[in-house]
Chains A and B, each alone.
Chain A
Amino acid sequence: MAKVLVVTSGKGGVGKTTSTAALGAALAKTGANVAIVDFDVGLRNLDLVMGAERRVVFDLINVINGDAKLNQALIRDKRIDTLSLLPASQTRDKDALTEDGVDRVIGEMREKFDYILCDSPAGIERGATLAMRHADVAIVTTNPEVSSVRDSDRIIGLLDSKTMKAENDERIDKFLLLTRYDPARAERGEMLKVDDVLEILSIPLLAVVPESQDVLKASNLGMPVTLGSPASIASKAYTDAARRLMGEDVQIQIPTDRRGLFGKIFARKAA
């Protein structure tokens, strides 16, 4: 049965789009049929992070308005053939998203895909509430930083009240995805620790994605990090997260690239 996931956060710039791309690619690599949907109407970027910006013809709003069929708007990834992207409109604004339209598109997608990942816009307005509306699972993307944690708390409140699951008195699964984490700074007391954020938000942990230079490198190249740098610590975290989302019991660990002197020498030779 299809699963709809929303990648959300409240605050902007914490890594929702990066995480949607990385998780979508990691899920699709297992052979599952995956669609990633950009809900950030007016400020689309998932196409750019996926390297598909020059292939956009139709978008989510076109499908909602009936100007295009879902199949015409979906962009099949060139690297993984089980991964598709439904881009957002760049010229319209969030008012073009209608509740009925989103209901219909997500309903149709549930027939075609195993996983549908919705990349939410920042904020708590229409775009964000429509992105989370159909979700079975929410991935609350948070940086270990006060404003991000506060906004995530607000989003968790919305997930418990504004989603269809909440309206039907069902439970929506919520997971924390802690991104841009620096274990060394946390150890020195300069950054909130994983346990601090978990205690404050009190939702289960999906994964901790360490701060990594490979994330920017991959987005520069239009690659999800799980495809562009599969060996990087960020990819490791996202791949583990994807396995957990598929129901595997994977022990949570924070990947590090701290190696001994020999490790560094060999790594360099290998590269």
Chain B
Amino acid sequence: MNLLELFRKKSSAPVARERLQIILAHERAALGNSDLVAQLREEILAVIAKHMPIDHDKVKVAMDRGNEVSLLEVEVELPLHDQQGEPVRLAATG
């Protein structure tokens, strides 16, 4: 820690204010639609599963609510081998 940091006043209230403004803007907009993220996740996974086997435990879904835009992140781990050890070929299965 340098000396400057010791003297610099740290204000946490503006951070609180900004976080509240962002989360409340989203919560007000999403009223009655609170399971939107869960629904999106299911539908997106269903589309992927139509074409390749995926492990539902290896799916990460994250939401980052920003001031201007929100980011829905869906990370799906694609297996190289299926449960029998056979290589997975990416082809339409359904």
Contact = CB atoms under 8 A, between A and B. Distances in A.
Nearest to B17: A196
Contact of A189 (B9, B20, B27, B28): B9
A157 B28 CA distance: 8
Interface residues of A, number: 16
B19 interface: yes
B19 A190 contact: no
A244 interface: no
B12 A189 contact: yes
Interface in B4-29: 9-14, 16-17, 19-21, 23-24, 27-28
A190 B31 contact: no
Interface string B22-48: 011001100100000000000000000
Contacts of B17: 192, 196, 200
**Interface of A: prevailing SS:** helix
Interface stretch (A45-53, A56-64, A148-156, A250-258): A148-156
Contacts of A191: 13
A153 B19 contact: no
A186 interface: yes
A157 B31 contact: yes
Nearest to A146: B16
A193 interface: yes
A188 interface: yes
**Interface of B: prevailing SS:** helix
A146 B16 CA distance: 6
B13 A150 contact: no
A44 to B, nearest CB: 31
B20 A190 contact: no
Of B19, B20, B31, chain A has the most CB atoms within 10 Å of the CB of B20
Given A146-B19, A157-B31, A186 B13 contact: yes
Contact of B28 (A149, A153, A186, A190): A153
Nearest to A186: B13
Contacts of B23: 150
B21 A200 contact: yes
Contact of B20 (A150, A157, A186): A150
Contacts of A193: 13
A200 B20 contact: yes
Given A146-B19, A157-B31, A200 B13 contact: no
A146 B14 contact: no
B27 A188 contact: no
26 contacts: A145-B16, A146-B16, A146-B20, A149-B20, A150-B23, A150-B27, A153-B24, A153-B28, A154-B27, A157-B28, A157-B31, A186-B13, A188-B9, A188-B11, A189-B9, A189-B10, A189-B11, A189-B13, A190-B11, A190-B13, A192-B16, A192-B17, A193-B13, A196-B16, A200-B17, A200-B20
Interface of A: 145-146, 149-150, 153-154, 157, 186, 188-193, 196, 200
Given A188-B11, A190-B13, 6 more contacts: A146-B16, A146-B19, A150-B24, A153-B27, A192-B16, A196-B17
